[in-house]
């Protein structure tokens, strides 16, 4: 009988902290990804209410120097992350308030949802932010936020915090002063690089991170409108990626950001990718079918698409466009040679819908 010898072998392996591959091969080498992240949608009616109340109750002395509400994906066991690699949040800033300067090794971006008179200063470059503006924050750059108006401001944050922490690469430091010194002309990076196609002739290209601190909404909207006259993706309709104007590369090493228009009456075909993404509905209403489940969204809502999960977008309006902003972890997968995508070929490229997502039911994930 060999069984006693097997038991003895496995017992000794356990004591030596050794795991036999032949007993764990399916979990170590699965045939395809099985993400813990689940499709989910947060309603703006709930998020805005919680953000507003936090603005009233959470003061700086209660830890509110960053009044950010992290979106916790129900599939991640209570971790405050939107996906395995992305931290996303809604951040609220009261009028005439300052979020003190600090820096961290996590890469960060933010997309303005609402508010006028708010500003962000990154490494001495002060920029004003309005609805639809997209701002970047490279790692280990000092940054503070503030408001010069009486009205509050609210934006969506996205950082690579889960990945940063998984790699044991997290560092954080608070500045000696709440507000940085502005070291150049206000909105200097926009004045120098905002056209996108040109740079000062005496400066070398900036390859590591985009020299442009903020991508202004009027320029972005014009680019979307122009692209819609020329071409569109069968999977994402009119989609643009924010890039470093000097290199054409994504604005961050670990994250990229998109803005896309789903035109009236468009129903895109389904595909899936080895990446995860967090979407914010900037304008309009529609639905995204994720893994066979319909997620109906409207302005302000935020939803998640996990890795290797079929998804398609639809705008049933006959006259109104829908605008989606998204953050994706694609650059990491591309850099590591692990990115792939696949179109759905069955059923004409459209998923068979199983049900419609409802947060009050919480499906099977609550």
Q: Each residue of 148-187: pLDDT tens digit?
A: 999 999 999 999 999 999 999 999 999 999 999 999 999 9
343 contact partners, CB below 8 Å, separation of at least 6: 235, 269, 270, 271, 349
Spatial contact of 113 and 280, defined as CB atoms under 8 Å apart: yes
Token output for 21: 């591959």
Among 127, 107, 111, residue whose Cα is nearest residue 258:
111
- Tell me the CA distances in angstroms from 324 to 191, 206, 215, 288, 328, one per residue in order: 27, 28, 15, 11, 13
∠ CA 210-152-100, rounded to 5°: 55
Which residue matches tokens 């066991």? 77
22: helix, strand or coil: helix
- Going by the DSSP 8-state scheme, the letter that residue 347 receives in this structure is G
- Token duo for residue 126: 């002060």
Confidence at residue 314, expressed as pLDDT on a 0 to 100 scale: 98
306, 276 contact by CB (below 8 A) = yes
Residue 131's CB: how many other CB atoms inside 10 A?
16
Query: For position 59, what pLDDT does the model report?
Result: 86
pLDDT of residue 197: 87
Please give the pLDDT value at position 1: 61
What's the pLDDT score for residue 364?
45
CB 124 within 8 A of CB 130: no
User: Comparing C-alpha atoms, which of 135, 121, 138 is closest to residue 177?
Assistant: 121
pLDDT at position 64, please? 78
Taken in order 112, 115, 116, 121, is the CA torsion positive or negative?
negative
In the prediction, which pLDDT does 335 show? 98
pTM, two decimals, is: 0.95
Are residues 147 and 95 in contact, defined by beta-carbon separation less than 8 angstroms? yes
CB 307 within 8 A of CB 271: no
Q: Helices marked H in the chain — which ranges?
A: 3-15, 25-28, 44-57, 161-166, 188-193, 217-228, 330-335
- All residue ranges of the chain with pLDDT < 50 are 362-366
Q: How far apart are CA 256 and CA 319, in angstroms?
A: 30
């Amino acid at each position: 009988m060999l069984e006693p010898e097997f038991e003895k072998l496995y017992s000794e392996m356990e004591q030596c902290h050794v795991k036999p591959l032949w007993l764990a091969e399916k979990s170590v080498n699965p045939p395809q990804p099985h993400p813990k992240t689940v499709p989910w949608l947060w309603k703006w009616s709930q998020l805005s209410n919680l953000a507003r109340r936090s603005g009233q109750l959470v003061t700086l002395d209660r830890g509110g120097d960053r009044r950010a509400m992290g979106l916790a994906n129900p599939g991640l066991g209570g971790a405050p992350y939107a996906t395995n690699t992305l931290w996303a949040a809604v951040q609220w800033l009261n009028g005439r308030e300052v979020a003190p300067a600090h820096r961290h090794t996590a890469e960060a971006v933010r997309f303005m949802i609402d508010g006028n008179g708010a500003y962000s200063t990154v490494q001495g470059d002060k920029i004003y932010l309005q609805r639809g503006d997209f701002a970047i924050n490279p790692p280990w750059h000092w940054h503070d936020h503030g408001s010069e108006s009486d009205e509050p401001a609210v934006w969506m944050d996205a950082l690579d915090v889960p990945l940063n922490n998984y790699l044991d690469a997290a560092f954080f430091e608070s500045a000696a002063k709440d507000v940085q010194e502005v070291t150049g002309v206000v909105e200097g990076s926009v004045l120098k690089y905002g056209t996108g196609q040109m740079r000062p002739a005496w400066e070398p290209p900036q390859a590591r991170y985009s020299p442009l601190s903020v991508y202004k909404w009027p320029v972005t909207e014009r680019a979307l409108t122009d692209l819609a006259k020329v071409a569109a993706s069968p999977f994402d309709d009119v989609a643009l990626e924010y890039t470093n104007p000097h290199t054409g590369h994504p604005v961050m090493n670990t994250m990229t950001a998109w803005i896309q228009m789903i035109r009236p009456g468009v129903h895109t075909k389904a595909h899936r990718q080895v990446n995860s993404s967090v979407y914010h509905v900037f304008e309009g209403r529609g639905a995204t079918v994720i893994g066979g489940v319909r997620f109906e969204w409207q302005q302000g809502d935020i939803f998640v698409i996990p890795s290797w999960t079929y998804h398609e977008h639809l705008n049933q309006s006959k006259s109104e466009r829908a605008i989606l902003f998204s953050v994706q972890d694609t650059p990491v997968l591309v850099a590591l040679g692990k990115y792939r995508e696949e179109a759905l070929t069955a059923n004409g490229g459209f998923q068979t819908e199983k049900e419609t997502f409802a947060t009050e039911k919480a499906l099977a994930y609550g």
